[in-house]
Each structure stands twice: as C-alpha cells, then as structure tokens.
Amino acid sequence: MIVRLIIRRLFFLIFVLLGLSLITFTLSHVVPSDPARMIAGPRASPEAVEKIRKEYGLDQPLWRQYVRYVSGLVRFDFGKSLTSRRPVAEDLKRYLPATIELALASMLFAVILGIPLGILSAVQRNSLLDLFGRTISILGLSIPSFWLALVLQFILFAQLGLLPDGQRLPIGVKEPPPVTGLFTIDALLAGNLPLFFLALKHLVMPSLVLGLAALAIVTRMVRSGMLEVLGQDYIRTARAKGLRPSTVILRHALKNALLPAVTVIGLQFGLLMGGAVLVEIIFSWPGIGRYAFQAIQNFDYNAVISVTLVVGAAYVLVNLLVDIAYVLLDPRIRVT
Amino acid sequence: MERTTTATTRPVAVLLERPPRQRTLSSTVIEFLRHSPLNLLGVVLIALFLFLVVFGSVLAPHDPIQPNVALKLQPPSPTYWFGTDELGRDVFSRVLSGAKYSLGIAFIILSIAVVVGTLVGLIAGYVGGLVDELLMRLTDLFLAFPALVLAMAIAATLGRNLQNTVIALTVVYWPWYARLVRGQVLWLKEREFIEAARAIGASPWRIVGRHILPNTLAVIIVQLTLDVGYAVLATSGLSFLGLGAQPPTPEWGTMIAGARTFFRDAWWYMTFPGLTLTLTVLGFNLLGDGLRDFLDPRTRRR
C-alpha cells in the first residue's frame, strides 16, 4: 500500500522536476542581457566572447542546451556557475548545509513552541494564554520577516549587545570539522561545547525571524484541531470514565489533533525556503538563498536554475514524506 | 409619490406589523462586525489603508520624492511626524504616498490572478476529462515551487521593476485560484439545481455564468482577502531585495531597504514604514480570518 504510494509519487516527481527545469530554463532565456558577454567581462574582445559562448554551449540551439542540461542533471551535474566558475553542484554542497541548519532550527522553534501553545490555547480557551496564542498566530503572519529581522538586529545586537548580527560564526573562528555541515551538530560531535554555544548564539536570531510565520501557523492548526477534537464524544467518554484531564488531553486528544498539523508543518517548508532568501541576506547567512540572490545579481542563470530546481525538488520530496507520515499516523486514510 | 399613497391607505394594523426578519446585506454586515471585535478592527484598518491608496499622495504634507539634504535624518517632530530620511524627505509623506504602490500593486496582482485562475478553474471543472487533467498538471508545476523563490526567479530574469513584479506574482498566484474554483465547480456540478438548469435546456454558458460562478464567489472572496496580506508582503519583500519598485519610489519595502544602512542612527526611518506594512497585512488577515470563521458553519457556533 505505502510502497505503491511511494512509487507513484516518485514517478510523478520525475515529471514535476522536468517541468520545473523547463520553467526555469525558459525563464533564464528571457534574460535581456548576453550571458557570454557577462562572463567575458565588458572589455573582452568579440573573439573572446565567442570562445566563451562555445565553451559554455551557449551557441547551441535552445532545445540542445536544454537536453544537455537535463542529461547533466541526471548525473547531478548542474553545469558551471558563470561567475564563480566552479561547478554549481560544488557551490550547492558548500552552501546547502547552512540553509538546512537554519530551516531545521526555525522548524524546531515553531514546533517546540507552537504545539504546547496551541494545546494550552485550546484547553484554556479564552484565557490570557489563549489570547497570547491567538495574537501570535495572527501577528506572526502579518509582520514582514525582513523588517522584523532589522528590528531585532537593532534591539538585540545594536542596543543590548546580546546576540551577534549575522554570520554563522565570528570571522577568524575555526569551523568545526565537517560531518553534517551543520555547525551546531558538528561542534557537539567534536565535543567542543564553547564552539557549540557560539554557533547556537549565531543561529538564534535568524531562526527566530524565519520561524515566526511557521510558529503562527502551527499554533493555529494545533489550537483549532484540538478544539474540534475536544468537542467529540469519545473525549467526553474518557472524561466520564474519570481519567485525569492530562491523560485525556495528552493520550486521547493530542494524537488526533496533531494530524492536520503534520500536513501543515510539512507545507511550511516552502514558506521557510522563500523566507530564507530574505533572512539569509539580512543576517549574512551563507546559505543557498543568499547564493541564489547573488547569482541573480550576476545574471548567473545556471546557478539560479539549480537553486530553484533543488528547492523545488526538496519541496516536492518533503510533501511526499508528509503524505507518507500522514498515512502512517492515520490508518483510516487510504490514499490510492 | 405612489408609495406614500399606498402606505397611507393601508390599514394601521398592517403598518404596525414588522416585516419578517430578512438577511439583507446590511444586517449580515452588522452581524459580522458584532461577531468579534477583531472583525471590526480588520475592517477599520482596511478602510484606512484603502483610503490612503486613493488619497495618500494628496494628503502627504511634503513632497515624497524631492530631496532636501539640509534636513537629512531628522528625528520625528511636529513638522516631520515620522522624521526624515537620508535625503531629507519626509518619511510620513512617503509612507502615505507609498500605499498606492505597496497595496495598489497587490490589488492589481490579485485581480489578474483571480480572473485567470477562475477562468481556468471553471473550464477545467466544467469541461473535465483531458482538458481538466492537462490544466491541473499545469497548476501542479507552478505549485511545486515555493512562491517567493519562483517570484524572485521570474522578477530577476525579466528585469527589476514593478511591472515585472506584477507578472511574477501573478504567475505565482493564479494556480491557487484555478484549484480552488475547480474544486467548487466539481462539487456544484452534481447538485440538483444545476441538473435542473440543464434539464430545462440552459446553455453551458448560462449554467456556468449564472449558476456556478455566483456560487463560487464566497469562497473566492475569503481566499482573496487572506491573499491580499500575502501579496503585500511578497511585493514589498521583492522590492526590499531590489527586484520590485526602484528608488525613489516611496514603496514601503524599498523604504525599509533604504533604511537598513541607517538603522543604528535613525530608528524612525525603518520603524514607520515597517509598522504601516504590518498593520496593512494585519488588517487583511483579521478580515480574512473573520470571514472564514463567519461563513464556515462548523466554527460559526463559537
């Protein structure tokens, strides 16, 4: 059952990826400027520009360039970045861990705070805590992340000096030996506690900003899911049996209330990736969002295509995982 | 004239009798506003900012574009309520004139997205079959990208200006409406009143235009209200990145980007455009949430 679902979705994934690459490829060829001229520089001779055009395959017909690109993709060959002149795959490998660390930390922040807040908000409905939960869940979606980032930088960095204003580690501090690429985890693995706390300190502000919208949505979903479940008969039965309120809520209600939240948590990934671009730029966070933005500035379309593709692919994969988790959690659902 | 005569000739008893309670538009609106104070707050905020979209530039006390370097980075004062920016322009005037960019652009984007999305959704849902399959796979493709990432890629490749921001975000938003409308059409298509219309020989155009479309409007409006907030955030976010409105346009995201360099010395410069932006989005989120709760019979009883 589940195996069939996975195979079906993986098959679908191939088509989605092809479609994604087609969309971005089309886009990159609407660019008004000449990429060969961009690489060669403004003072290069026409011959040099032609040579680069040949070298990068930019003289080929469009469909050829596309086929060449897609056949490369299968081998994880994203082509060369037009500005760094390194393979894009290498660049991605370098910048992806920073984004993953940021996204995971934001998600963790949203889930760890959002689930209890949603539960308490529902259980103590119309209390002060509920008011707080509801305020978070609507304000979190209304504050522009790029503005919040600047405000927090102003307060926590410039005024109070509590947290650093950007980067993953201070300049000059040696990175932990790479295992996962996530500085906090790697520092722990190396048994270097001071470095762990230093990396964590740098992670706090960006993940808070990025995670706020997700926190709002998780809180809201858990709250409304909980409210709906708490009104049902089997909860009344459990209460009537004389079970302790905490048992009723944690053992009986929570599992059913969390189901819709799981789907929504998965969908937040897309929101996080979009927000990551803004947050990474403001906090000088060396992830793929900032990389993509710099690529855009330089008309480096290979890099832009690759980041967009990788993000799109990751988004589809996460949704697949969410679907599977949903089926595993809820045996009533039979996706065919 | 005629109405007064009939009224006076009516028996008094009839005049005293109150008409049965009808759900008129105004009574529904009042009921909605009474439902929650937050609904009222949302409506007030939206009314304020809609007013600014139209009259913001007229109300601005100073020129929002013309630099006056002698007055640069002045803190808020009775003359310059929100202070001045690095070129000595009045931040308050710029915030007022900015409404028509930040919010106005969002309206344009969503209007196009709704029209395109609704058309595609109606066709896919009503015609069905291969057409439906093809159109829906097309929406799948666009929905497979995180919205802001796709919009950024489009805006970046087309060139940096507001017109391309509109194109980019329209491309991002239309599939959501196509999906939404299609779902509604599929559900409505099997209902008895549509079958009845078909049975008496109504043309497909008439069925779709007179019977299906009006019944999808409520869902579209709720979604639209919620999306205005997101569209405002996306527009200003793109402008903040330098991909949308360009200086000296007083768009709020562009203003915040400009204020970034001065955030240590001039708190007012980034504070006021940001607060305005937040309140605008908040207004639409409150109204959208309120509408959804109000129209959803499951949550209505609260």
| Ordered domains of chain B (ranges, CATH) | 46-300 (1.10.3720.10)
DSSP string, A232-260: SHHHHHHHHTT--HHHIIIIIIHHHHHHH
B300 in A contact zone (CB under 8 Å)? no
Instruction: Name residues whose C-beta falls within 8 Å of residue A34's C-beta, 6 or more positions apart in sequence.
Output: A49
Mean pLDDT of B166-170: 89
Q: Which of A72-76, B125-129, B219-223 has the lowest mean pLDDT?
A: A72-76
- pLDDT class of A33 with cuts at 50, 70, 90: low
CB contact under 8 A, A147 and B270: yes
Q: Are the CB atoms for B243 and B234 separated by under 8 Å?
A: no
Q: Could you read off the pLDDT of B61-74 as tens digits, one per residue?
A: 888 888 888 888 88
Using CA coordinates, name the residue in chain A closest to B156: A296
Would you state the pLDDT for residue A245? Answer: 81
Would you state the pLDDT for residue B302? Answer: 40
Would you state the pLDDT for residue A32? Answer: 61
Q: How far is CA B114 from CA A236, B4, B181, B189, B217, in A?
A: 44, 45, 10, 21, 11
**CA triplet B78, B80, B86: central angle to 5 degrees?**
150
Cα torsion for A207, A308, A3, A75, to the nearest 10°? -120
Q: How far apart are CA A25 and CA A65, in angstroms?
A: 9
Q: How far is CA B127 from CA A316, B124, B133, B134, B143, in A?
A: 28, 6, 10, 12, 22
Q: How far apart are CA A183 and CA A168, in angstroms?
A: 8
- pLDDT class of A75 with cuts at 50, 70, 90: confident
pTM of this structure? 0.83
**Which of B133, B110, B109, B128 lies closest to B208 in space, CA to CA?**
B128
Q: Are the CB atoms for A309 and A17 separated by under 8 Å?
A: yes
Give yes or no for residue A89 having a pLDDT over 60.
yes
Mutate to test the interface with A, among B41, B95, B135, B150 (most CBs of A within 10 A): B150
Question: ipTM score of the complex?
Answer: 0.83
What residues of A are in contact with residue B137 (Cβ under 8 Å)?
A: 15
Q: Which of A234-238, A246-250, B7-11, B175-179 has the lowest mean pLDDT?
A: B7-11
Would you state the pLDDT for residue B162? Answer: 85
- Residue A270 is nearest to which of B146, B277, B278, comparing CB atoms? B146
Q: How far apart are CA B5 and CA B104, in angstroms?
A: 49
Q: How far apart are CA B119 and CA A297, in angstroms?
A: 36
CB contact under 8 A, A311 and B159: no
Q: For residue B190, give how far its alpha carbon lies from the nearest alpha carbon of chain A (Å).
A: 23
- pLDDT class of B281 with cuts at 50, 70, 90: very high
Q: Are the CB atoms for A215 and A140 separated by under 8 Å?
A: yes
**What's A113-171 look like in SS3?**
HHHHHHHHHHHCCCCHHHHHHHHHHHHCCCCCHHHHHHHHHHHHHHHCCCCCCCCCCCC
Q: Which of A260-274, B125-139, B177-191 has the lowest mean pLDDT?
A: A260-274
Would you state the pLDDT for residue A147? Answer: 93
Would you state the pLDDT for residue A334? Answer: 52
- Residue A150 is nearest to which of B243, B263, B299, comparing CB atoms? B263
Token pair, residue A301, equals 């379309």
Using CA coordinates, name the residue in chain B closest to A19: B141
Q: Could you read off the pLDDT of B210-256 as tens digits, one per residue?
A: 888 888 888 888 888 888 998 999 999 989 988 888 888 889 999 99
Q: Could you read off the pLDDT of A180-230 as tens digits, one per residue?
A: 888 888 998 988 888 999 999 999 999 999 999 889 988 988 888 888 888
- Residue B154 is nearest to which of A27, A224, A277, comparing CB atoms? A27
A219 in B contact zone (CB under 8 Å)? no
Q: Which run of H or E residues covers position A36?
A: helix A35-40
Using CA coordinates, name the residue in chain A closest to B267: A154
CB contact under 8 A, A158 and B229: no
Tell me which long-range contacts A123-128 makes (C-beta under 8 A, separation of at least 24): A123/A226, A123/A230, A123/A249, A125/A227
Q: For residue B141, give how far its alpha carbon lies from the nearest alpha carbon of chain A (Å).
A: 6
Using CA coordinates, name the residue in chain B closest to A273: B146
Chain-centre distance for alpha carbon B128: 30
Would you state the pLDDT for residue A202? Answer: 92
Would you state the pLDDT for residue A311? Answer: 84
- pLDDT class of B11 with cuts at 50, 70, 90: very low
Token pair, residue B239, equals 């402008």
